[in-house]
Structure 1
Amino acid sequence: MCGIVGAIADRDVVPVLVEGLKRLEYRGYDSAGIAVLDGEGVRRVRRTGRVAEMAAAAEREGFSARIGIGHTRWATHGGVTEANAHPHISFGELALVHNGIIENHESQRERLIAAGYAFESQTDTEVIAHLIHLYLREDGDLLRAVQRAVRELVGAYAIAVVSTREPGRMVAARMGCPLLVGLGEGENFVASDVSAIVQATRRVIFLEEGDTVDVTRERVQVYDADARPVRRDVHLSDVSLASLELGPYRHFMQKEIHEQPRALADTIEGVIDRNGFVPALFGDADGAVLRDVEAVQILACGTSYYAGLVARYWIEAIAGIPCAVDIASEYRYRAAVANPKQLVVTISQSGETLDTMEALKYAKALGHERTLSICNVPESAIPRASRLVYYTRAGAEIGVASTKAFTTQLVALFTLTATLAKLRGRLSDEQEAQYLEALRHLPGSVQHALNLEPQIVAWAERFAAKEHALFLGRGVHYPIALEGALKLKEISYIHAEAYPAGELKHGPLALVDSAMPVVVIAPNDSLLEKVKSNIQEVRARGGEMFVFTDLDSHFGESEQVNVIRTPRHVGILSPVVHAIPVQLLAYHAALARGTDVDKPRNLAKSVTVE
């Protein structure tokens, strides 16, 4: 969602701010702005639309300074207008940027109006700027003013603040939203994402919940929620500039789809190196956490939730353990029953998904101590709050529509399944060897699926003229149908829904006609004949089907049935391979419709608000 970047240096920081905001575009936004202190006061430029428009305006107006903050906004409170864009300014001398949502902004607004503050926007953010200014006017110290103000905020925030009263200082704080500090030589930075500052430094400090940080050119001091000075570890980020560049691809989504063989190989590497499924893969050196698990509770949102649905089939069938999968935003508001021997698994690409983080907090408040995070971003909030962690090693994922994060999550969940099965005595040496061999061959099978792209392009061109589509799957492939429908709707804006194929006759069949394409995930597994029967129901109603199947499935084509065959059925890992064609279908349908593939409307990459 919203993105923050701030810099203080002995050089002009405006190019740093602009470049940082460009690298944050993938998170999703609808306006952008920067504010700098240039010796004469606060100068600000804001624009709705893309960062490039704002950057061009800053260049025309001759922006140059050695301290400044920047922001990309995804609208929550107030519409997409320049007045609602960040940074917000209080009394012409304090500028602030903010990610998150302040729940008590209305009561604070009333208080501040009574104190003489005028509001120019509809945002909750302007409340924070004026509240800090109120305390700065009383106290004269920017750090203390921020620390006093944030104690009165209810909700989630990451903020960065500069003031003309102390032009050599930047103060930042976080609660519920990610924020980090970048360390340079004679210069320092703050950002919501390491990608925003990787061009300047790879040395970062990840702030903890409730932290504030005092940043000058020469020093960085972090304070905890009680305003006590603390030391936070310095990490060397492994995000590379190359991973943030498009290279020969048209879009990041296309790049990331084609990076999946490498991402899967990197994620699998740890399992292969250890020559088996062992608790140490998750940080459980002696198996104390995983050994006597009686049930599994998976918590996730969006695409990660669908990965969890696949895992439920695996965990129950292979490990013999009951598994529940909840949408994180629903779990956190229901009266869940705690089981001390239940393993709570949270899945998040960014490790900062607010609903998932809050669901984890709720689970821990219920007494759950066995917690495992599956995540793609080291040192992010959710892994830090979990007892065990499995990093997927997918590399930076920029496109809003998740692709390689999804398939690597599936590998992580399969690894967890096999490890639990082995600890329970349900995985023989022979079966373990077969699973390891299947993992070794998985990147190659995915590459074969990617080679189907030319055939899928032809299908996508036919889809581009449609406004609705149905996706069908059965068993462990039903979640892949869900994922396919999600991908199509989020980037092509074609309305798509997914159903278990057996449910077709219980209602959705009423929608089927010649204008409604039906995509079927039909691998050569034990349910193939059932799926074929469901296909006949569609044919009888004049519907046209687009079937993804396997080379050895003996599926016949006809006027109403179009077939693309993925490589031979790869067994238990088939959902990973069948995720590839539905990703490609969505990508090329969006391409044909001319939508903004990497930045679909109304959506954000890292969802850090409720």
Structure 2
Amino acid sequence: MCGIVTAISTQNIVPVLLEGLRKLEYRGYDSAGIAVLSNGLQRVRSAGRVADLQALTDESGVTAHVGIAHTRWATHGAPCERNAHPHISAGLAVVHNGIIENYEEIRERLTARGYVFESETDTETIAHLIHHKLNAAPDLFEAVRLATNELVGAYAIGVVTEADPFRVIVARRGSPLLLGIGEDGMYAASDTAALLQVTRKVVYLEDGDLAELRRDGYRIVRGDGVPVERETAISSLSADAVELGQYRHYMQKEIFEQPQALANTLEIIAGGGSVNPQLFGADASGVLNGVRQVLIIACGTSYHAGLVARYWLEAVARIPCTVEIASEYRYRDSVPDPDTLVVVISQSGETADTLAALKHAKAQGMGRTLAICNVPESAIVRESRLRFITRAGPEIGVASTKAFTTQLAALALLTLALAKIAGRLDADAESRALNGLRHLPVAVQKVLELEPEIEQWAQRFAAKHHALFLGRGRHWPIAMEGALKLKEISYIHAEAYAAGELKHGPLALVDKDMPVIAIAPADELLEKLKSNLQEVRARGGELYVFADAGSEIVESEGVHILHMPEHYGMLSPVLHVIPLQLLSYHAALVKGTDVDKPRNLAKSVTVE
């Protein structure tokens, strides 16, 4: 959601800024812009893709050594050039991620002082406020510090001014921002991927940090002006990891990376014969001992992973589990319990609602916290007492795939650890469970080989406007995930229901134009699911069934069967989500939608 790149270098930074924006396209955006210091302040903006901005920049022939750039996902004001970043105030330019909650109050004050607003954004308020502070501050750095102290809400900002052309000022609170230390200068961005082209040496800013970037170095202070040191890290990402390679889209690439992502995530148990609680942190035994219940907090796809885990935790570990949508939990008058393990799940680790919900739970006295996340340096990881880092690698496609399956792997390990601590996992069961996890990458690879059959199914979905997904038990959340994927990237309206709920409303929608996708593992609920499928066929509904071997569901007119390679017991949800990902991907291809950057959506949701 929005993206920032800034640079100050001995080299021409315009290509660096534009390439950085391209690497941030996956976050979701509807306009883009760049401002550089070159014979004064020059700004180029486009209400479109970065490619459009590139064309305009090439046409202008601008080169520079200092600049800021931005991709905007509209919040305040329509997606148009007038509202695109950077925003300017008398030679000073600002880019901004986040939302300023008190911008109307500040805007009213500044308007009374003679400032004229040209956009509908909260960001233009920041530009004018910093310009106003320059009247009393000794320099740009202090003006930004004074201005940010008045801002309420979340922000990551980059600031340049033609009056002080030898530095860039950046600051963050609530939105991610990191510095890049290059051989020829200093950089900053909202995501490491934007900087891999120039450096892997990074510094992660913390909430409330303000940094001054010069060609030969940087300094960081807190909001009160006190200098601080932040650790320098070498990013584990490589430039190759965020390239498409042989694939048409990042989503396709990431679907097919799942065997390796699972192998990497589960490498931690590769040679072990038992589940050690220290998989989740050095003091995990102390935190996990005495846990009476589990509260899982997440959003979107991560929420679906939590719903699957609820079935596992209650069936295997025999521990009560509640799963909450983060944006609801933080505003609900809940009952805290210090013996609850609070598990927060996020691909990016910067999801605003999940981070706020975690802080809310801690403020209520629930200090047993665990983050399951794909980004080790993220805010959610830093806020949690325990952590499990999934090793999915960078996920660029907005529709999450490999992050989801690696989250399920992590939650399976947590289930086994809690079951073992509670004395509900004997040695034989533990060994079988670990062997099943180790075999997951091979099993997923076999499911991926079904792609040609799924591609044929997808052809039939192109003309559809609605679809219904059905599942039972631990596969109901997988049906929910399948429906989410289809609507995210193909724009086909899709809903998921527990199959037993058909007669309680959804059956009214079923007809020949409503395809019904069913997940049919060979488990204890299969016979009941078959009855539900008969209800669909009796109303003329067309069925697409993902069935395990041995399910004995027969293909016939109106009933299409895709046989899964093997039944996988408790871990079956990990396998059954793969064909649903592929179905969504190929349906989107047939419809010609933007697979990796679906309209109105953002990859990293860093605002409420």
Give the structure-1-normalised TM-score.
0.99
1:272 and 1:526 mapped to 2: Cα distance?
30
Partner deviation per Cα, 1:201-222 (whole Å, 9 max, x = no partner) = 0011111111111111111111
Q: Is the 8 A contact 1:552 1:568 kept in 2?
A: no
Q: Cα offset for 1:511? A: 0.1
Matches within 5 A, 1:179-198: 179-198=177-196
Residue 571 of structure 1 corresponds to which residue in structure 2?
Answer: 569
Matches within 5 A, 1:311-460: 311-460=309-458
Residue 217 of structure 1 corresponds to which residue in structure 2?
Answer: 215
Q: Is the 8 A contact 2:168 2:212 kept in 1?
A: yes
Q: Cα offset for 1:223? A: 1.0
Q: Is the 8 A contact 1:340 1:368 kept in 2?
A: yes
Q: Is the 8 A contact 1:299 1:344 kept in 2?
A: yes
Residue 84 of structure 2 corresponds to which residue in structure 1?
Answer: 85
Aligned length: 608
2:197 and 2:543 mapped to 1: Cα distance?
48
Q: Is the 8 A contact 1:249 1:255 kept in 2?
A: yes
Q: Cα offset for 1:138? A: 2.2
Partner deviation per Cα, 1:137-182 (whole Å, 9 max, x = no partner) = 2223111111111111111100010111211111111111000001
Residue 43 of structure 2 corresponds to which residue in structure 1?
Answer: 44
Read off the aligned partner of 1:59 and give its amino acid letter: D
Other structure's SS at 2:183 match: coil
1:506 and 1:213 mapped to 2: Cα distance?
57
Partner deviation per Cα, 1:402-440 (whole Å, 9 max, x = no partner) = 000000000000000000000111111101100111011
Q: Is the 8 A contact 1:209 1:225 kept in 2?
A: no
Deviates more, 1:514-523 or 1:223-232: 223-232
Other structure's SS at 2:134 match: helix
Read off the aligned partner of 2:43 and give its amino acid letter: R
Residue 467 of structure 2 corresponds to which residue in structure 1?
Answer: 469
Q: Is the 8 A contact 1:339 1:368 kept in 2?
A: yes
Q: Cα offset for 1:286? A: 5.8
Q: Cα offset for 1:80? A: 0.8
Q: Is the 8 A contact 2:8 2:185 kept in 1?
A: yes
Residue 5 of structure 2 corresponds to which residue in structure 1?
Answer: 5
Other structure's SS at 1:297 match: strand
Structure 2 gap ranges (5+): none
Q: Cα offset for 1:276? A: 2.2
1:138 and 1:65 mapped to 2: Cα distance?
29
- Are 1:589 and 2:598 counterparts? no
Other structure's SS at 1:275 match: coil
Q: Is the 8 A contact 2:467 2:514 kept in 1?
A: yes
Residue 23 of structure 1 corresponds to which residue in structure 2?
Answer: 23
1:342 and 1:251 mapped to 2: Cα distance?
41
Residue 53 of structure 2 corresponds to which residue in structure 1?
Answer: 54
Q: Is the 8 A contact 1:521 1:548 kept in 2?
A: yes
Q: Is the 8 A contact 1:161 1:172 kept in 2?
A: yes
Matches within 5 A, 1:194-205: 194-205=192-203
Other structure's SS at 2:285 match: coil
- Provide the aligned C-alpha RMSD in A: 0.8
2:360 and 2:198 mapped to 1: Cα distance?
38
Residue 103 of structure 1 corresponds to which residue in structure 2?
Answer: 101
Residue 254 of structure 1 corresponds to which residue in structure 2?
Answer: 252
Q: Cα offset for 1:285? A: 4.1
Q: Is the 8 A contact 1:373 1:388 kept in 2?
A: yes
2:564 and 2:125 mapped to 1: Cα distance?
55
Q: Is the 8 A contact 2:480 2:497 kept in 1?
A: yes
Residue 528 of structure 2 corresponds to which residue in structure 1?
Answer: 530
Q: Cα offset for 1:50? A: 0.5
2:330 and 2:62 mapped to 1: Cα distance?
45
2:383 and 2:220 mapped to 1: Cα distance?
19
Other structure's SS at 2:223 match: coil
2:197 and 2:256 mapped to 1: Cα distance?
25
Q: Cα offset for 1:27? A: 0.5
- Are 1:131 and 2:133 counterparts? no
Read off the aligned partner of 1:607 and give its amino acid letter: V
Read off the aligned partner of 2:83 and give its amino acid letter: N
Q: Is the 8 A contact 1:284 1:290 kept in 2?
A: no
1:303 and 1:167 mapped to 2: Cα distance?
44
1:420 and 1:19 mapped to 2: Cα distance?
45
2:306 to 305, 308, 324: 308
Q: Cα offset for 1:63? A: 1.1
2:167 and 2:336 mapped to 1: Cα distance?
47
Q: Is the 8 A contact 2:172 2:208 kept in 1?
A: yes
2:596 and 2:217 mapped to 1: Cα distance?
37
Q: Is the 8 A contact 1:474 1:501 kept in 2?
A: yes
1:290 to 288, 291, 297: 288
Read off the aligned partner of 2:579 and give its amino acid letter: P
Other structure's SS at 1:289 match: helix
Q: Is the 8 A contact 2:284 2:386 kept in 1?
A: no
Other structure's SS at 1:421 match: helix
Other structure's SS at 1:138 match: coil
Partner deviation per Cα, 1:39-98 (whole Å, 9 max, x = no partner) = x2110000011001101111110110000000000000000110100000101x111000
- Are 1:237 and 2:235 counterparts? yes
Residue 63 of structure 1 corresponds to which residue in structure 2?
Answer: 62
Q: Is the 8 A contact 2:408 2:574 kept in 1?
A: yes
2:293 and 2:443 mapped to 1: Cα distance?
32
The percent identity for this pair of structures is 63
Residue 268 of structure 1 corresponds to which residue in structure 2?
Answer: 266
- Are 1:608 and 2:606 counterparts? yes
Read off the aligned partner of 1:107 and give its amino acid letter: E
Q: Cα offset for 1:186? A: 3.7
Other structure's SS at 2:324 match: strand
1:370 and 1:458 mapped to 2: Cα distance?
48
Matches within 5 A, 1:170-185: 170-185=168-183
2:273 and 2:32 mapped to 1: Cα distance?
49
User: Cα 1:6–1:341, aligned 2, differ >3 Å: closer, same or farther?
Assistant: same
1:164 and 1:229 mapped to 2: Cα distance?
26
1:276 and 1:204 mapped to 2: Cα distance?
36
Read off the aligned partner of 1:70 and give its amino acid letter: A
- Are 1:74 and 2:73 counterparts? yes
Q: Is the 8 A contact 1:514 1:542 kept in 2?
A: yes
2:132 and 2:273 mapped to 1: Cα distance?
61
Q: Is the 8 A contact 1:547 1:564 kept in 2?
A: yes
Other structure's SS at 2:160 match: strand
2:10 and 2:207 mapped to 1: Cα distance?
30
2:351 and 2:481 mapped to 1: Cα distance?
18
Read off the aligned partner of 1:24 and give its amino acid letter: L
User: Cα 1:274–1:142, aligned 2, differ >3 Å: closer, same or farther?
Assistant: farther
Deviates more, 1:183-192 or 1:320-329: 183-192
Q: Cα offset for 1:595? A: 0.2
Q: Cα offset for 1:273? A: 3.5
Q: Cα offset for 1:226? A: 2.2
2:355 and 2:272 mapped to 1: Cα distance?
30
- Are 1:34 and 2:34 counterparts? yes
2:454 and 2:214 mapped to 1: Cα distance?
53
2:339 and 2:203 mapped to 1: Cα distance?
34
Other structure's SS at 2:434 match: helix
